[in-house]
Amino acid sequence: MEKVALIRESVKTNKGKRTVIESEFAAGASIPLHYHRKFDKTFEVLEGEIRIWNGNEELVLKAGESATVKKDMVHTYQIGNSKVILKTTLEPGSLCFENAIKVMQGIHKDGEKGDLNTIENNNMVYMAIISKLTDSNFMGEAGATLETFLLSEEGKQVMYVQNELLEKYGEI
């Protein structure tokens, strides 16, 4: 099980320049193909190894190495055979992304809704909320599944639940 990410530097302390997050991912963890419209994302490996597909480029990063994914660049990643600790820097910073981390921390602390540190969670409402707050625009099957869900009756509760979670754990 992954540990919930920690905010190491907030937009509230640097006039919006960056958000710095530290995350631990279990061996084999991955995320569907996606892109971000609002920020560049730099991955710095603190421990372990990660494989990143950045557009047409495939990179393998080990401890001490980093790579930047520019906004609007389609990317994904796969964790290797052992856990990885990543420092991720978003530039410019994102209060919404920070709120997603706070929501995940709060839910984890309260023991609700299972593990939300990975988008592969089966709860579509929470997947939709976290993807929206993190500006994660999914491609392929994951994107189609999320889009179909958001058009459904159950999908209509996303904004209501998101506002509840932000009131409880984040900032509106």
Residues 27 and 49 in one domain: yes
Residues 121 and 43 in one domain: no
Residues 87 and 150 in one domain: no
> Of 11-20, 39-48, 103-112, which gets the smallest average pLDDT?
103-112
Q: Under DSSP, is residue 112 helix (H, G, I), strand (E, B) or coil?
A: coil
Residue 35 has pLDDT above 80, yes or no: yes
- Cα distances from 16 to residues 20, 41, 70, 97, in angstroms, run 11, 14, 17, 12
Q: What is the mean pLDDT of the chain?
A: 90
Residue 138 has pLDDT above 60, yes or no: yes
* Domain range enclosing 138: 95-169
pLDDT at res. 76: 97
State mean pLDDT over 49-58: 96
Rounded Cα gap, residues 36 and 141, in angstroms:
17
Query: By the 8 A CB rule, do 124 and 162 touch?
Result: no
Residues 79 and 112 in one domain: no
pLDDT at res. 70: 98
Angle at 150 between CA 146 and CA 151, to 5 degrees: 120
Residues 120 and 75 in one domain: no
Residues 117 and 78 in one domain: no
